[in-house]
Amino acid sequence: VGKTSTKELTAAVLRQRYPTLWTPGNYNNEIGLPLSLLRLTDEHRYVVLEMGFYTEGEIAQLCDIAHPHIGVITNIGPIHLERAGSMEAIFRGKSELIRALPPDGRAILNWDDAWVRKMAEISPAPVFKYGFTPEADLWADAIESYGLAGIRFRFHHRLGDHTETYHVQLPLLGRHSVHTALRAAAVGLIAGLAWEEIIRGLKDVNARLRIDVAPGYNRSTLIDDTYNASPPSTIAALNLLEEMEGRRIAILGDMLELGDEEEKGHRLVGARAAETADILITVGPRAHWIAEEARFQGMPNAAVHEAEDADAAIALAKTLIQPGDFILVKGSRAMRMDVIAAALSVSRRLKTED
């Protein structure tokens, strides 16, 4: 969760000083990563690569190709659990990045994640800790989220026996984006950038982050977060939706590859949807658990709607959306949630009709 946004924001920070190459899109596998490296020239000082994980051994193979010097771990959750087999296997697989680092490299670890903290024990490189806890080397507090207007918080950077503090306001969406900013800032610090350069990079509007906000159907506002979905990322998106001042509609699809955590993960999302959305539309058979849990948590039956597929969800949404509504669309790619977002986006619909 958060790999692509971290890659984009990290590249935005590094290129404030250094010629930087970074992976386009999600070229994060044994085909895309080498293709990215083929674009390296003598002018580049840094390359920022995303490494995807499904099963053990994959990241080790990518490390054999890339020889990483700095490794950033975002978090460890149940996404791809169905393929990996267990949380322990996911931990081992993602740890392959840390094990591949040289002694003069640096491991950047999320100190808010209990699984990630364990990687400090196996890292051959010095560890740089980030998170929301003062135990970290770089941490954030006083976080305020202003919906579509961005976020404000304080950075604290420990330097020996004293700490630097910086107040920032960034054009990032949702409280979960603070972790993304911490990761990018950590890389910038390790690369020797000044805080002025780091903050300028974090404000770079050209960084292509995943959430897209656009004018929506019937004078609504569409929050398109359809790249993929897991319980943590969907709950983070619902937290952003909660900050919107207007009627809130959540269109949530099946989350795939959760293995034994499948029902639990969908029910966690359903409970949060009941707290954050005024209307809930679920898409797909697994998302029935989202709807069922939302009703159980007290969401009125009339506010919970279940659609069999994307086409049914589009038709249903168009009967419900009113001017001024905020619509979140989120779910796994296989559920065609991007089709729903396109159908409910004014700009994309006009392009299609042209």
- DSSP β-ladder status, 127-131 and 106-110: parallel
d(CA 315, CA 29): 36
Query: CATH fold of 212-353, please?
Result: Protein-Tyrosine Phosphatase; Chain A (3.90.190)
Torsion sign, CA atoms 209, 92, 109, 111: positive
| Integer-rounded Cα radius of gyration of the chain | 20
- Name the nearest CA neighbour of 266 among 214, 231, 298: 231
Long-range contacts of residues 302-311, Cβ cutoff 8 Å, at least 24 apart:
303/277, 303/278, 303/279, 304/280, 305/279, 305/280, 305/281, 306/281, 306/282, 307/281, 307/282, 307/283, 308/283, 308/284, 309/283, 309/284, 309/336, 310/253, 310/283, 310/335, 310/336, 310/337, 310/339, 310/340
Sorting pLDDT into bands at 50, 70 and 90, what band is 350? very low
Dihedral sign, Cα of residue 94, residue 26, residue 226, residue 14? positive
Closest CA to 175 of 144, 133, 141: 144
* The pLDDT of residue 354 is above 50: no
Full-prediction pTM beyond 0.85?
no
CATH superfamily of 3-202: Mur-like, catalytic domain (3.40.1190.10)
Rounded to whole angstroms, how far apart are CA atoms 109 and 68? 15
Q: How far apart are CA 148 and CA 77, in angstroms?
A: 27
pLDDT for 279 equals: 98
Residue 16: its pLDDT value, please?
Answer: 96
pLDDT at position 351 is 41
Residues 241-279 pLDDT 10s: 999 999 999 999 999 888 888 999 999 999 999 999 999
- Give CATH 3.90.190.20 domain extents, the chain: 212-353
pLDDT given for residue 259 in this prediction: 85
- Residues 1-15: tens digit of each pLDDT: 678 889 999 999 999
Stretch(es) of the chain classified as CATH 3.40.1190.10: 3-202
C-alpha distance from residue 157 to each of 7, 9, 72, 104, 141 (Å): 21, 19, 17, 21, 12
Q: How far apart are CA 96 and CA 178, in angstroms?
A: 25
Lowest-confidence region among 106-120, 195-209, 280-294: 195-209
CA 253 vs CA 5, 56, 237, 316, 341: distances in Å: 21, 27, 13, 14, 12
Mean pLDDT of the chain: 92
Tokens of 289: 């658990």
